[in-house]
Structure 1
């Protein structure tokens, strides 16, 4: 295995070659304007009399105390090339109001939906008030989009008494219906975190949904057009649209937004230079379809995703990117006993710069709860019954040095109320985070809630054999379930409550979602208490 330093040098050299061959990403072209500011770009009209334009819904995201991003895409034929739009820019009007009827409009303007960005619109609406609900919509000609509801964050110094948010991941469209997202949309959340695998890149030869055998669902995504089509396929779903319309989202990607288990510039499907072209395509389509700021537009195969969002003095969320900077998986990936690669302290899942940013931020936050939103399980996951140990190389178990530095560093810095949120496992796993997982008496330095998938893995069962082994072999694991769903968290100054919402089925429509477990963490007391 390459060292971290050597790996970073190789990645930089490959990226330089990529940019030399393909050129840097296009300059930013989508801009929102506030009242009194006209768009600098002329935009031609589009005929909107025959086909609806807002077929992929609307969304908002990355709320700040005075700003939030609002998003839409014009796509009269969402699965057709270019979404059925011609190669002309289109002027899109937008409004933000304090009421759903838009009697009290507080911000309005125009944005240009450009063909080079799939006619998507990202407007960073500024000048809003902290910790307020707002409603937003878009208009082109006589067509008005659905109405979305969003909420800004509190001011940094505000003493917020409570907040409620949801987190989810892994929504393979072909493996089920978005029953969990429909439930999420019906509940009141201040914000929603999506922790990766928004789409799946591989082609499915069969699936649960009636049209999952169509060519657009079976094709492996490689080109930019492939990825754009896959996002359109997912975003057509009305339950996904409803969940986006219900609250702002904070998003980060995992592997399937590009290709299964990719690591930095490495994937066995292609040489590094070719893989970076695919990664650039995937990143571009991801940014186009997520409510992200213009400053996060990818530069070729590079994209700034790790960032911090603060909710007054109550909580700070450090959102990680554990794909773009990681060392290649140890031992050839898969599930393996701990090995020289997985135990090599020079290897990293975050990269040195992001790791330093994370620890410095945790130490300086000053909030009651310190939250890490990331893609994988941080807790040790021994999946072998009996003597010996086998752990997944794709999670933090494959990067023990990173885990030791983050958990040990947080402990040394006196970070209180550390909570890690993860996904990717397609199962619910809630754990105490130990300073030394080999010693049950070791200090508990934090708590981890890993959410199951929205659909990936089909219906599932309460406990499968893997889950029973996890509970038996890992005393720090306090809860497990192998069904589909998501997690709702209610956070106060006194405690953190995680409700694991579980769907009885996703392979047929009309499933029921109920609370399978309610887990509590008390202020100042690391670890899970069941209720």
Structure 2
């Protein structure tokens, strides 16, 4: 899908408007400040000794590990639920250091950067010159304050014949629908990275009791009891979400690789089309605010910094020769959904080759990357269910038109591209649907005997949907409707995936409840897929 001249005009107008309204530095100046750790040209610098309350209330994070680099993140926020975080509109110097040991006796890199008010006093440091496949510890300082320490890990060397990659898959953390206990357990798990497949934030209001968390009345301020639809409100929502102690623990323990779904902006949006039918030029202004707040609060590099309503989030990472990760964005470039309700009979628009889930440029990037890949496993972290999913085993079945079932011609091109590129071990990672699934990816989903091209591992939500059930009401019906469905569980938790040269292993971890904190976690099931002979079997 390509954008028309009218689309370009809308984006230019939104970019101009958002810059005038809330972007107080140009994208070029901001990028320069990030890349060189220099202040924007007009920023006045503050004395960090003037900060009288701990500013590291949102913890620390790292992300996007490369063989020689990781991104370090923090945000100065001594007062959480005020515009500006309780700080004046000045830039505060923040020092950072990264060490081989948790006591910081062997510091290998250190420096100082500025937390700019233009970026809501967030800090992104792209640390270079690190050793590959090594654990590191990092922390920040400003004035008399020292942040909690974080732990991170670089990727294996490019081209290395590494013997194992282990990572977690998470998604969908709705604050008002439960505690994020799974993150506390994930913090203690043995993984090299965490892939977040979207819905890090929900745009809906949060009442003073935190919804199902049922805090004492008035615990949370009225400032977050509004839908996030402006930059200020998105920033406040991120302050609330990132204040969760279990999420902070997971971020401090592992590097995250993030991509978004819809709720970081608005439910079920598609490109320039919002859910409420507002004019595209208005929705793009909201999208620009959402994208800016997302970048500010995620451990992302300068190339991901948004330009008004546009942000290049799809990107590629390598973990030696064992795994190539192609992180997708299936929201920003997609064609608008087929008309009608989300679940409906297959619509003719789903088969229209002019419609796309990824947009033309991202589709070419993905397939070209597969053609050049030398990895044993080609892994695609993305947002919505890729495999066909029918709700009943009859010709009048319904399907989700917000998922790839609503973009069948687009899915067919992706599958044909994988086949032509000779991808033998395709692994799709998915969030969105608040359940654990395991699918075999069929070359033709209508023919159970067709070739299996790979597997799709769908990780359940952290809290969205409440406690859930190990055997949801539609359990038998879904298995009867989808021969390629191999596993289904509706509880909360996360997914752990281990790759080695011969096998993939998927551990589906669940907690019994999220309506009360502190639940135990257990492996509900494990499945394996053999390299060169894809297909999920109990393991």
Name 2:537's counterpart in structure 1.
529
Name 1:16's counterpart in structure 2.
12
User: Are 1:245 and 2:248 an aligned pair?
Assistant: no
For the residue of structure 2 that corresponds to 1:330, the secondary structure is coil
Name 1:314's counterpart in structure 2.
322
Residues 1:467 and 1:345: Cα distance change in structure 2 (over 3 Å): farther
- Aligned pair partner of 2:197 in 174, 192, 195: 195
For the residue of structure 2 that corresponds to 1:461, the secondary structure is coil
CA distances 1:429-451 after superposition (whole Å, capped 9, x unpaired) = 11000111111111111100011
User: Are 1:60 and 2:62 an aligned pair?
Assistant: yes
* The 10-residue stretch of structure 1 (466-475 or 176-185) with the greater mean CA deviation from structure 2: 466-475
Name 1:207's counterpart in structure 2.
211
- Aligned pair partner of 1:396 in 400, 404, 410: 404
1-structure distance, mates of 2:105, 2:94: 20
For the residue of structure 1 that corresponds to 2:285, the secondary structure is helix
For the residue of structure 2 that corresponds to 1:250, the secondary structure is strand
For the residue of structure 1 that corresponds to 2:489, the secondary structure is strand
1-structure distance, mates of 2:495, 2:433: 14
2-structure distance, mates of 1:8, 1:434: 34
- Give the CA deviation at 1:377: 0.8
Name 2:150's counterpart in structure 1.
148
Name 1:90's counterpart in structure 2.
92
On the 8 A contact 1:308/1:317 being kept in 2, the answer is: yes
For the residue of structure 1 that corresponds to 2:34, the secondary structure is coil
2-structure distance, mates of 1:200, 1:39: 31
For the residue of structure 2 that corresponds to 1:501, the secondary structure is strand
- Aligned pair partner of 1:365 in 369, 373, 378: 373
Residues 1:49 and 1:301: Cα distance change in structure 2 (over 3 Å): closer
On the 8 A contact 1:38/1:110 being kept in 2, the answer is: no
On the 8 A contact 1:169/1:451 being kept in 2, the answer is: yes
On the 8 A contact 1:345/1:402 being kept in 2, the answer is: yes
User: Are 1:77 and 2:84 an aligned pair?
Assistant: no
1-structure distance, mates of 2:361, 2:89: 40
User: Are 1:339 and 2:339 an aligned pair?
Assistant: no
CA distances 1:30-56 after superposition (whole Å, capped 9, x unpaired) = 43769xx99997622134563111000
1-structure distance, mates of 2:465, 2:180: 13
Residues 1:8 and 1:482: Cα distance change in structure 2 (over 3 Å): farther
- Aligned pair partner of 2:460 in 445, 452, 458: 452
Name 1:31's counterpart in structure 2.
34
For the residue of structure 1 that corresponds to 2:366, the secondary structure is helix
User: Are 1:463 and 2:463 an aligned pair?
Assistant: no
1-structure distance, mates of 2:154, 2:357: 31
For the residue of structure 2 that corresponds to 1:331, the secondary structure is coil
On the 8 A contact 1:176/1:456 being kept in 2, the answer is: yes
On the 8 A contact 1:32/1:122 being kept in 2, the answer is: no
- Aligned pair partner of 2:110 in 94, 108, 111: 108
1-structure distance, mates of 2:50, 2:507: 44
Residues 1:10 and 1:337: Cα distance change in structure 2 (over 3 Å): farther
2-structure distance, mates of 1:381, 1:140: 51
Name 2:446's counterpart in structure 1.
438
Residues 1:49 and 1:411: Cα distance change in structure 2 (over 3 Å): closer
1-structure distance, mates of 2:206, 2:128: 42
For the residue of structure 1 that corresponds to 2:53, the secondary structure is coil
On the 8 A contact 2:155/2:319 being kept in 1, the answer is: yes
On the 8 A contact 1:93/1:111 being kept in 2, the answer is: yes
On the 8 A contact 1:70/1:125 being kept in 2, the answer is: yes
CA distances 1:279-327 after superposition (whole Å, capped 9, x unpaired) = 0000000000000012211100000100001000000100000000000
Name 1:482's counterpart in structure 2.
490
- Give the CA deviation at 1:9: 4.4
Give TM-score scaled by structure 1 length: 0.95
What RMSD in Å do the two structures reach over aligned CA positions? 1.8
On the 8 A contact 1:39/1:111 being kept in 2, the answer is: no
1-structure distance, mates of 2:306, 2:367: 25
- Unpaired segments of 5 or more residues in structure 2? none
On the 8 A contact 2:169/2:495 being kept in 1, the answer is: yes
Give TM-score scaled by structure 2 length: 0.94
1-structure distance, mates of 2:50, 2:487: 52
Name 2:526's counterpart in structure 1.
518
For the residue of structure 2 that corresponds to 1:489, the secondary structure is strand
1-structure distance, mates of 2:220, 2:44: 41
- Give the CA deviation at 1:333: 4.4
Tell me the number of residue pairs that the alignment of Structure 1 and Structure 2 aligns.
525
- Give the CA deviation at 1:514: 0.4
For the residue of structure 1 that corresponds to 2:339, the secondary structure is helix
Residues 1:369 and 1:8: Cα distance change in structure 2 (over 3 Å): farther
Name 2:47's counterpart in structure 1.
45
Alignment of 1:124-273 (within 5 A): 124-204=126-206, 207-211=211-215, 214-269=221-276, 270-273=278-281
